[in-house]
Amino acid sequence: MTRSSKARLAAAATVLAEEEWLHRWHGVMSPVSERILPRTRYVRNRVLRTVTPDAPPFAGVVVECFPSARHVANPFLFYGAHGPVELLANMARILRAVTAFLDLSRIRASTAGEYFLKTGFRSTGGT
């Protein structure tokens, strides 16, 4: 089984207080994307501090997994749309929710594959 994953490093919109930023991320963006995107997994991580002095000030890391690479590459599958009108409407919903709490010019994203391999190996419980 293969799934496609996207990881995003999110930079907070600096004009928001932390409590409001978290509300928009968890209380607004997450439910909107849950209704639209065909995710199989969604992991949010809050970045509290940088570890190195020159690290960019990211506020969060999100890992989203999708059923296949097709779901990431095809906008109709990605945005859960059955036609062009629904596609544009869903894209607008996502964009409105994202820009309410993130500075899009400061986001880094990457795509990766996740592979689950089945083997004939069975654990016996011992060493």
pLDDT band at 34 (very low <50, low <70, confident <90, very high): very high
| CATH (domain of 47) | 3.30.70.100
Confidence (pTM): 0.77
pLDDT tens-digit series, residues 40-96: 889 888 888 888 998 887 888 888 888 888 998 999 999 999 999 999 999 999 999
Q: What is the pLDDT of residue 30?
A: 92
| Position 46, amino acid | R
Query: What Rg value do the Cα atoms of the chain yield, rounded?
Result: 17
Q: What is the pLDDT of residue 111?
A: 81
* Residues in Cβ contact with 30 at an 8 Å cutoff, skipping those fewer than 6 apart: 42, 44
Residue 97 has pLDDT above 90, yes or no: yes
Residue 120 within a domain: no
Look up the domain containing 26 and give its range. 2-114
Residue 23 has pLDDT above 90, yes or no: yes
Share of the chain above pLDDT 70, in %: 83
Residue 127 within a domain: no
Total count of domains within the chain? 1
